[in-house]
Structure formats: C-alpha cells, structure tokens
A = this chain, B = another copy of it.
Amino acid sequence: MIRAKVIGAGGYGGVGIIELLSSHPGAKLAALVDVTDVGSPISRLYPHLTGFCDMPILDPADAKAQEPVDVVFTSTPDGVGMKLAPQILASGAKLIDYSGDFRFNSVDSYAEYASRIGRETQHASPNLLTEAVYGIAELHRGQINEQRRLVGNPGCFAVSCILGLTPAVRSGLVVPDSIICDCKTGVSGAGKKPAATFHYPARYDHMNVYKLAGHQHVCEIERELSLQAGKPVAVTFTAQVVPVCRGIMSCLYGQLTRDVSADELMRVYREFYTGSPFVRLFDRSAAIGSMHVRGTNFCNLIVDVDTRTRKLRVISHIDNLMKGQAGSALQNMNLLFGMPENAGLMRSGMYP
C-alpha cells in the first residue's frame, strides 16, 4: 500500500483527499499535518469521518509527521509547496502540490505568473521547476508516470477552461485572442475560512462577479492554451460566485476560424478525449448541470456552435473540489505509481 501524507489536512483540499484515500484500494493515509487544530482527530473537525479516519492532526515539527511516506499532498497556499519540496523529494517521496508553485515548468513563466498576481517573482526552488509536470492528466498523461516525482496540481477554474477549450484550440478552430471564459463557481472554491462574502446570509441568494481586475487562474489558462495552440492565446476571464456549494460551470466562447458544424466539432472533441475516462461529452440538447458531476471526478462538456454568429460555445462542468482539486490530485497519484488512472475515483455521486 502506498503511504500518503497530507499537509494542510484541515482544509477542504485536505478533507477531500482524505475522503478519497480512505477508500482507495492501493493507498492509505499515513499522516495528517496542519498548523491549526493540532492534536485534534480529523473526525472532530469533520464528524462525518468518524469511524473512517480518526487520525490526529500533527504539527509539522512533530516527529511522526516526519516518518517516511511514498507521496505527499501539499494542500497549501502559494509559496509553501516550493519551500517544502526539496526536503520531501529528498526523503524519497513524490510530491503533488495544490498551489501555483509547480504549475509552470520554467523560471520565466513562473515569474510572469507571480508578477501578474503580485507575488515575489523569484521561485524558492527554481531547479525543481523543470522536472515538474502540469497535472491535467488528459493533456499530460504520458508525462505523469512512475519516473516522475513532482506534479503541479491544476487550479479549479483552469481545469474547467482548459479541458473545455483544448481540442478546439489545438485544431486551430478558434481565433486565439477572441476567447471568453465566463466562469461560475460554487462557494466551496473559497475554502474553509469564513469571510464576509461567504457568510450564509450574505450569500444564500446572491450572485456576483469578483476580481474583475485580474484572477490568479488567467495566467495558468493562457499559458497552457498557448502551449496547446503553439501560439499566444489571450482570454477574457470573468469569475463569478453563485450559491451552490460544489461546482464550476464555465461558458467558453471563441470566434471560429471557419464554418464548423456542431457535429464536426463534436468529432474533434471525441477523438481528443478517447481514452480519458473522466471526460464525458454531450451535445446542446443534454439536460445536464452541476449536480451531475457533484462529488465526482468527471468533467462534463457540452460542445456547441452558435452558427448564427460563428462562435464556439462549450459549457464545462466540474466539481471544483474533485476534478478541480482532490480528484485530479488522486488521478495524478495513480499515474505516478503506475496504478489504473481511475483507481478509487469511480464514484457516480448521489442524486439528489
């Protein structure tokens, strides 16, 4: 059994991977680490885990937190994973980092990202950047393998947009600077920490845009799409919060470079996602929405063309905490250890 350690275990990103690992056929939890609630069983913070995972939260400095493991998940903010990475890798463990620290595999592209979100542009572990792989398995499955030891797990909005746009962008069907990503996220995307804007009375019947001046995921999306397109891609990105708990619904638009029918577009997508068990394709007649991916690792795409205005229109649905975070992380772990990509991830979710 693969032994896994979760750093940042007490947040939503932590509890998500704990839930998944608790029933994984080939891995088990070895240690939970966080800087708050140290000493508490995780099931006191999250009572639904009672009887499933009652391990205590360890201080990072605790000796038990240092025992050797096979894989570490750092469910931590930007800037933490890059500091912890050298020691983790030196211990022989693989590392899957949830933040932006390892999503850019060159010093320059990291610096651009950092500068756009107002962070220090110097990476703390620059030499590790080139060995990191961007953890969207559907695009980089071949590079996420047993030889790899470092994965930059993607951002939730980025997963949603990149999976929805890549086949069209790679095929040259979209004018590169015409792309609009109109993205609505559920509230759990903001994490566990209470804040005025996520206080129930202020949120239950409320929808709004935020960070119009610039969202941290834009750079990540543009970089990956540019790599896929082989030329620079710029997107207009609008982040919105709506009162659902889990789910991202991204409406993705782009000017088509030529007349394309919805059927032809669907063929392009179908071909691209052959062999990707977690991408499900639908046409415009499908009655699907966020509840149909809730609690699962699936990305449901509606592939559509507005022929009147010659525009690509793709609707991308994921669960921001699963395919957008812990689910992708587990999918990456499976690949890093040569296990079936979908091990421990074949969950239908529940309805309603």
Which residues of chain A have a CB within 8 Å of any CB of chain B?
A: 12, 15-16, 19, 22-23, 46-53, 177-178, 180, 182, 184, 186-188, 192-210, 212-213, 234-236, 238, 240, 242-247, 249, 251, 253, 255, 280, 284-296, 300, 302, 304, 306, 308-309, 311, 313, 315, 346, 348-352
Residues B196 and A194 in contact, CB atoms below 8 Å apart: yes
Of the A-B pairs whose beta carbons lie under 8 Å apart in the complex, a sample of 10, sorted by A's number, is: A47-B292, A49-B351, A198-B200, A200-B203, A205-B294, A207-B249, A209-B249, A236-B313, A240-B251, A295-B295
Considering the chains assembled together, what is the distance between the CA atoms of A247 and B294 in angstroms?
18
**Minimum Cβ distance to chain B for residue A297 (Å):** 12
Contacts of A315 in B (CB 8 A): 209, 212, 238
* A245 interface neighbour in B177, B200, B296, B300, Cβ under 8 Å: B200
Known contacts: A290-B207, A291-B205, A293-B48. The answer to whether A198 contacts B199 by CB under 8 A is: yes
Residues B212 and A284 in contact, CB atoms below 8 Å apart: yes
Contacts of A196 in B (CB 8 A): 192, 194
Considering the chains assembled together, what is the distance between the CA atoms of A246 and B192 in angstroms?
22
Instruction: Please indicate which of the listed interface residues A210, A251, A286, A288 has the most CB atoms of chain B within 10 Å of its own CB.
Output: A251
* A180 interface neighbour in B180, B280, B287, Cβ under 8 Å: B180
Contacts of A293 in B (CB 8 A): 48
* A207 interface neighbour in B48, B52, B199, B244, Cβ under 8 Å: B244
Considering the chains assembled together, what is the distance between the CA atoms of A193 and B138 in angstroms?
39
Add 18 more A-B contacts to A186-B201, A212-B302 (CB < 8 A).
A47-B292, A48-B349, A50-B280, A180-B253, A184-B207, A192-B196, A199-B200, A200-B245, A204-B243, A207-B242, A207-B244, A207-B247, A207-B289, A207-B290, A208-B287, A212-B284, A238-B251, A238-B315
